[in-house]
Every structure is written in structure tokens, then in C-alpha cells.
Structure 1
Amino acid sequence: MTSLWLDRAPRIETDEFEAGQQFDEVIVGAGITGLVAALLFSRAGRRVAVVEARRVGAVTTGNTTAKLSVLQGAHLQQVQAYSYRAIVKAYVEANLEGLAWMSRYADDQGIPIQFKDSVSYAATPEGVRTVNREYDIAKAVGLPVRRGTDVGLPFETHAAVVLPDQAQFDPMDVLATLAADVRSHGGKIFEDVRVSRAKAGDPAKVFTNKGQLLAQHVIVATGIPVLDRGLYFAKVKAGRSYAMSYRVDGALPPGMYMSVDSSLKRSVRTTPSADGDLLIIGGNGHTVGRDPSPKSHVRDLEEWTQQHWPGAVRTHAWSAQDYETPHKVPFVGWMPRGRGRIYLATGYDKWGMTNSVQCALTLASDILGGNTPWAKVLHRRITTPRAFAWGVGYNAGVAVEYAKGYAKALLRGLPDSPPDEGEGVVGRDGLLPTGMSTVNGVVCRVSAVCTHQHAVLSWNDQEHSWDCPAHGSRFGADGTLLEGPATRNLRLR
């Protein structure tokens, strides 16, 4: 599954890695957070290196739907429900700054960007109340929202809240420009270099598969932290969702849309292409590793698209992973036991285009000594009883997944014959949980135990991967690490 953005991405120049180099900041992860932070530091005259385990934009940024919106479905009421009004206001101010910064940067650099209305809509009568709550909260914190019903979609919407002058773009255009800008300011970008751990000190040491780097500060911007300091892998929930692009005859919707209905989550936008605008549909999110058939979610999304845009021709299908925090706002700042040397940003909950920029701005302010009022408010956030309960409930679910995974794996032996094409099974090989799969005619046997915290993996029938139901790590059919807090491949059996 290759995204539209990655398929048409421009070539990005990077640098040759040399072990032993020393920098002011080493940034782990070459998505928008990492590259915006790298640019901010390099503009300030700092020596900066960005270290990416795969390719620039390969994971979350290159697979997003890339909507820059401060109206985020029904997210503002989620923030208020799990925190309090001052946090909602600071969160909105932070996202407004993220939107403004990225809009200015795109204009300065000539990056194509389209300004559109952002719409949160109710596709069912049950969603009207949610729309009304989102409108009231958005209005209360100063957003110029308006109500509506006919918002340009080819199906009935029962209520909608509209925020004008939001934006969308191709995220790989942005990353290519940021990468070139970072390098023009003397920064280095290293691909195919995987960080396994870091040691706080003066300087801090960053350990990779190709050698060690030294830094005054280390920033972990990898979706979910690949360092276990602070136990952030247990503080966020990994979610996976799907997107597809289509060629459509006839009129396309004029705005950017997100449904608020809990039973029917849909994202709708368009994007320019060489042969005319394309329609992009997203949705059907679920917790990583806990769904029996991710393929069914893609099938459902295709059927829904054909119902409302008959004859639409699919050009690309892809998926993305993001992380939800208990209080619904990102974790950003210094990591515990990091001696003021190690920082992180995580937990964008599928709204990374504005949150990634505001987190980069926060990190630059924290390290360089800026004065950002909204960042101070978000830093001083208090965990409410409801947010605490969310965390307890989620980790109780993780414990259940451990028990279920080992029980299923150890109570049945691995089949004698390989599974059908595109399928994978987990069973006991001796006393070891083992996964066996068949992909493109190749049969692979791997350890079915995650290399991070040893949960038993499950098979993803859409992406032909082994996914961890505990903390969201993912591995290819051959055991190659794809993403998540894990830093090692699976062992072959």
C-alpha cells in the first residue's frame, strides 16, 4: 500500500552518515515535526542532524490525508472533556500558530497549498448534538465558525460546523522543501539509520545501527518514542486508519470534511494532480493489532465511496498510524530521566499537520529560551480523573491482549502446511509462539513475540504485516521492523 504522496514524491537529497560526529541537536525522525524543528534550530545557527530509520516521510507524514485545520472533527470537545477550558484555548492557539507558520512557509517557498473551508458534519441525526457542542466550544475560544447543512457533499448532512480559511497540501512537497532548506543552513539528514537508544550526559550519546552520534540535545519525533524513558508507550494508544484516492467524473466537494459520527468516521478532501483533481477518502480507524480483518475496513471504505461517487476509479490506497493521549493533546517537552538533554513529541491523534508544527515551535522555544504563552499552559497541564481513568482502562485492555495472545498461541500448534496466499497464522512451535505467513508465494516463519515488550503479534490481512496489539509496533511478513516503539526485527524461525 503506497500512498499517493509517496508515489509522486520528489527526490530528496540526504547526507552520508559518519559515526562519531557531534551536533547541538540530533533529531530522531524525518517527518514534519523533525524537519520543522531542524529548520528552526539550523536557522538559529545550531549544528543539527536528522536521523531517519527509513526514508524521509516514510511513516506517518507520507501517509496522512494532510489537512491543516484547527477544526478537527469533534476533537475540541474531546480535549475539553478530558482536560479543561484553559487547555482547549491553549490547544487552539497552538494549532492556529502551527497553521499560520506552515501557511507562511509554503507561500515563501512556493509550495502549492490550497485554502478551503474545514467542515465537521453529522451524517446521522445522532451526530447533530456532537456538531452543536463542537460549534459552541469553537465559538467560545474565538474561532470564526458558522453553522450549515448544505456543505457540498453528495449525501445528506444533518448539521455542520464550518471554519473558513483552513488549508491542505501534498506533505511530500513540504518535506522535500524543508529538507533542502535544512541542508542549505548546514544541517545534515541521514536516512537508513535506526536509533536504538540514547544516554543522557554532557554530551548525550545517540546509539544507532551505524554507529554513535553526540549531541547537546536529542529530540525524539518518531510518532511514538523509540526510547522507553517515561513509559510513553504505555501512555498513548496506537490507532491505524485508511485512505484512498480516486478519479471522479463530475463535480467534487469544495471543502475539507470530517464526520463526527462515532459509527461512521469519514474524511473527505481533494487534491490537484497532473490529470485533474482527485478525491481522497479516509476513515475506519481501529486500534493497532486488535482487529480481526483490516482488509474489511478497506473494503467498506471502497463500498461507501462507490455508493456516493458511482464509477470512481481508485488510484491509490494506503494507511497511517498515529497515537492518542489520555488528555487528547500532544506530549511535548523534556523526557523524564533525560537530564534536560532528551526531548519528545508524540500523540497528535491524526491531526499532525498543525500539531507537528506547534510541537516543533514548542521544542525550539524550550531549548533556545523563547517565550510562548500557549506552550507554558500546555506544559502545566494537570491530569484530570477522567484522563487518568482512560489511561487505566487502556492499559487494562493491554493486559487482556497479553493474556489472549499467549493463550491462543500456546493452545494450538503451528499448522503443518503454510497458510493461503496473503494469510498469516500464529501457533506454538515447541513452546515458542511462532507466526507463519505466505506473501507473494514466499512462506516465512518468524517469532510471533514483539521485540519491544513481548506481546504476541497478530496478522494484518490488508498490509501483510505482524502488528502488536499492546503498543503498536509493526513488522513485515519477513520480520523486518516497520514502525512503533520496537527497535529490533523479529527473529526468523
Structure 2
Amino acid sequence: MPATPADHGSLWLDRPRPGPASDPLPEGGAFDDIVVGAGLTGLVVALLLARAGRHVGVIEARHAGAVTTGNTTAKVSLLQGTKLSRLARTSSKAVSAAYVEANREGQGWLLRFCEDHGVDHQRRDAVTFAQARDELPAVREEHEAATRLGLPVRWVDRLDVPFPLVGATVLHDQAQFDPMDVIEALVAELREHGGSLHEGRRVVGVSKLGAPEVTLSDGVRLRAANIVLATGTPILDRGLYFAKLEPNRSYALAFDSVTPPESMFLSAGQPSVSIREAVTRHGSHLVVGGHGHVVGRTRSEQEHVGALRDWTAEHFPGARETHRSSAQDYASHDGIPQVGTMPRGRGHVFVATGFDKWGMTNAVAAARTISGEILGAPPSWATPLHHRITGPRGAARLAGFNAGVVEAAIRSLPTLPGKLAASDEVVPVCTHLGGCLHWNDAEETWDCPLHGSRFAADGAVLEGPATRSLRRRR
């Protein structure tokens, strides 16, 4: 198994691994469908296809839920910070409405699955709030956008919470859970329907000639009628998705010895603060997250973690830290996930990316879209999302993404000699497009400031778009 970052302490991943962890590959290496990535997106699309009688295999480089799903704050909400007001500025009302409907379907499917399979979940209000007066206009704008899109939000000027709140929009009856409970239930049902999970196998390439074929890091090749890439960001450069996404990293700390608020909170300002209660096998915890930034483009990740600790100590005195983790998400230029077929895949290579930190509902919506396209019955809301047009604001944001990449490349080059001298084991140059890597002092990883690839201290690749480990020093 590849190495993992140091001090990787997700509350959700602090549990015994269920067995069997991995299924044997079939003789001949043939499937109807291969799904790459065993997070929420990959497992839901695999289950939907397996329920339809297809022979499905899920290939995972580490273990199910190891990456974003196992480190998320796991809010299952249609009120998503200031998401809807930002969509109103970049997209038509029809596209925004389709986004809400897709997320409503994702939320409904996921909570029905939890109820049917005995997965514990809690109904909670979702709250987007202002910590200070200058954040109130953004919260008001979100409240109005949500109202126009049919969400029954209500405005409050104050709530009984121990942190600053001068106004908020509230959506009743949303949900939260432990995401690894869901992952384990999905894996179990996938196997019941004849699907298989293959952990510790990294996909490094997908053939575009003849029948779709994936190549694993050990040289094994597997064939299928369809390939689904559910890997956070695509591990293929076709379509230049790496240039259409901005990789962001955010942090989460878990605390006990304190009473968490009942609702799920997310501040409207920057840096953001996310607050929720976590009910797990370890008891009740307060989870405080946020303080996100573009991957590899910060002076010190420890400073972000420290800021969250200071905020918690101020507003929840006596809280005792028990876990610390971080997660990576990808934002598209227009704020809407990119889901569907990839270029030069002959209509048989699918991708789902750009969930912009709201993967619990968007993952299921993406899985519904991809499985529907493979089975010949895509959902109605997929059409306006597929055919959306990038407006001036979206085009400007896309240009900003790539200007940031160029600036990061120029700023990082003078630091390369020092990093080469400091690294005894590896050459800190990204194996994707040669970016000079940034040392992540909170997780002890090498992070690429260009497109978000991450590597363990020993050079093992952790997250794409890179698929090859760092070159070892001689």
C-alpha cells in the first residue's frame, strides 16, 4: 500500500478496517464497467450499475474512503454556504435550478440508502451565517438566491451559540453522518450485487484505442465496456481538466469535553469556519473546519491549523483536540461539477469532478448521471447542466485559475535549489507537469502548487492528476 501523510488523524477513519478488504481480480481481467476510485462517487455509481445486472469492478489506489470522503465534514445539505448566490452570478436560473434539483436527488437517494441499511444519520438545520457586519450582505444574497430557487430558508438575526453570529439564513431538516459508515454499507451492498472492490491497485493509464482498457501500476491490464474516473481530479490529461479546476485544501479538527451546537454552521466570510457535531463510535465530538487555500500556495499549512485551534479555544473553552485531518476538493470555473464523457474516449470514458467541497450530495448526483447515461436513462436535470454555457464571469475565473498556475510556477522556481538540497530521499519535482513542489508542514507531504498533486515524504503519489511517484535521489 502507498505511504500516507504523517499525523493523518481523521475522526471518521479512526476505526478498524472491515474485511475482506480487497477482492481478487477476475481471470482474464474483463468487466462490463470499471470504476476508478472508491470514494462516495465511485461506490454509488458502481452500485447503481451492479443493481442493473452489470459486472462492475472498483479499483482503488489505497482503501475505500481513504481520500476526500474519509476526511470531509460530511454535511448532506442543499444550503451550501454561499454557493447558490455565486451560481446566480455565473449561470442562468435554469442551470441553477437544475443544480439544486440534482443535489436534492443526491440528498434524497443518500438518506434513503441510510434508512434502508441502518446507517446512523442525524437530521439537522443547515446555517449560513455572518460572524461580522461586513459579512451580512453575502448572507442576505444567499438567502435571496435560495428563496428564488424554492428552498424554504428562514432569516434569523441571532442564535444561541457561543461564537459571533450577527445574522443567518437557515434551512430546516438537512442531515449529517459519519461518511465511513456509508462507505462500508455501500461496499457490502456492491458485493451482494456481484460487484467487486480491488484496493491497493493504482490506475496509471487508460487506453483510447479499441476497447477501453486500464493499466495498473504493476503492469496489469483490465478491460471494460466503460471506464468511470471518480478520482477527485481526473488522472488523464484528455480534456485538460487539470487546467479547468482549482485544487483547494481545507482542515478539520475534532474535539471532545465540550457541547457542540445542534445545527450545522458555515460562515460566509473568509477564512471560512465550519462547525458541526459528530456522532460516532467514539461518542459526541465538536468538528471545526475550514481555513481553506489553494493547494501548495500558502506559506505554512500549520498556520491554518493553528488558526482553527485558536478560534475553537476562544469560543469553546475547555475543548480537547482528539483528531486532525484535511481534505482536498476541486472547484470548476463556473462552480458546477463537470460530469459526463471525456474527450477522445469514444463515449465510454466518464468523469466526475469539481464538487467544490459539497461532495455528499453532488457525488450521488454525478453517479446518477453517469449510471443513467450508461444504462440509457439519464436524469432530466443532467441536460441543462451538460449544455450550460460559460459566461463572462466563468471565463474570467477560468483565466484566473491558469494565471494563478503561471504565477505559482514562477514564484516556486527560485526555491528549487534549496528544496533539492533539503530533500535526502526524493527529487521534489511533480511527475505530472514538472512543478516545483511545496513542503506541507502540517501533513509532511510534497504538494504541487500548479494542479494539486500530492506525494508522501517518501515520494509515493497520494493524489492526482499525477500517477507516478517522485524520482528517488541516488
TM class by smaller structure: over 0.9
Q: Does 2:65 align with 1:57? A: yes
Q: Does 2:172 align with 1:192? A: no
Name the TM-score, length of structure 2 as normaliser: 0.95
Question: Does the residue aligned with 2:129 lie in a helix, a strand or coil?
Answer: strand
Match of 2:316 among 309, 319, 322: 309
Amino acid at match of 1:386: R
Match of 2:413 among 406, 410, 416: 406
Contact 2:36 2:58 in 1 (8 A): yes
Displacement of 1:279 after TM fit?
0.5
Q: Aligned ranges for residues 140-151 of structure 1 at < 5 Å?
A: 140-151=148-159
Q: Deviations over 1:370-426 (max 9, x none)?
A: 1422111101111111111111121011112222222332xxx54xxxxxxxxxxx1
Match of 1:81 among 65, 73, 89: 89
Match of 1:333 among 309, 329, 340: 340
Separation in 2 of the partners of 1:286 and 1:9?
A: 31
Share of identical aligned residues, percent?
A: 47
Q: Deviations over 1:19-59 (max 9, x none)?
A: 74111110000000000000000000011000001111110
Match of 1:448 among 414, 422, 428: 428
Residue matched to 1:389? 396
Contact 2:178 2:279 in 1 (8 A): no
Displacement of 1:130 after TM fit?
0.8
Contact 1:56 1:191 in 2 (8 A): yes
**Which sits farther off after the overlay, 392-401 or 30-39?**
392-401
Q: Does 2:472 align with 1:486? A: no
Q: Deviations over 1:446-469 (max 9, x none)?
A: 111100010110111111111000
Contact 1:226 1:484 in 2 (8 A): yes
Amino acid at match of 1:254: E
Displacement of 1:310 after TM fit?
0.2
Displacement of 1:85 after TM fit?
1.5
Name the TM-score, length of structure 1 as normaliser: 0.92
Displacement of 1:158 after TM fit?
1.1
Amino acid at match of 2:388: R
Residue matched to 1:358? 365
Sort the Cα spacing of 1:458 and 1:247 in 2 relative to 1 into closer, same or farther, 3 A.
same
Separation in 2 of the partners of 1:305 and 1:63?
A: 19
Residue matched to 2:234? 225
Separation in 1 of the partners of 2:290 and 2:364?
A: 23
Separation in 1 of the partners of 2:107 and 2:17?
A: 23
Amino acid at match of 2:192: S
* Structure 1 residue runs of 4 or more that deviate by more than 4 Å after TM superposition: none
Contact 1:435 1:446 in 2 (8 A): no
Contact 2:130 2:267 in 1 (8 A): yes
RMSD over equivalenced CA pairs, Å: 1.3
Residue matched to 1:345? 352
Question: Does the residue aligned with 1:231 lie in a helix, a strand or coil?
Answer: helix
Question: Does the residue aligned with 1:314 lie in a helix, a strand or coil?
Answer: strand
Contact 1:10 1:173 in 2 (8 A): no
Q: Deviations over 1:155-190 (max 9, x none)?
A: 231110000110001000000000010011100110
Question: Does the residue aligned with 1:129 lie in a helix, a strand or coil?
Answer: helix
Sort the Cα spacing of 1:462 and 1:304 in 2 relative to 1 into closer, same or farther, 3 A.
same
**Which sits farther off after the overlay, 480-489 or 393-402?**
393-402
Contact 1:31 1:57 in 2 (8 A): yes
For structure 2, the residue ranges without an aligned partner over 5 or more in a row are 1-7
Displacement of 1:84 after TM fit?
2.0
Separation in 2 of the partners of 1:337 and 1:246?
A: 48
Amino acid at match of 1:482: L
Match of 1:436 among 406, 422, 445: 422
Residue matched to 1:258? 266
Q: Does 2:173 align with 1:165? A: yes
Residue matched to 1:298? 305
Residue matched to 1:216? 225
Displacement of 1:10 after TM fit?
4.8
Q: Deviations over 1:38-83 (max 9, x none)?
A: 0000000011000001111110000000000010000111112122
Bigger RCO (CA 8 Å, 6+ sep): 2
Separation in 1 of the partners of 2:413 and 2:99?
A: 40
Question: Does the residue aligned with 1:7 lie in a helix, a strand or coil?
Answer: coil
**Which sits farther off after the overlay, 320-329 or 395-404?**
395-404
Separation in 2 of the partners of 1:12 and 1:314?
A: 30
Contact 2:369 2:378 in 1 (8 A): no
Separation in 2 of the partners of 1:60 and 1:17?
A: 25
Separation in 2 of the partners of 1:353 and 1:436?
A: 39
Residue matched to 1:116? 124
Amino acid at match of 1:239: N
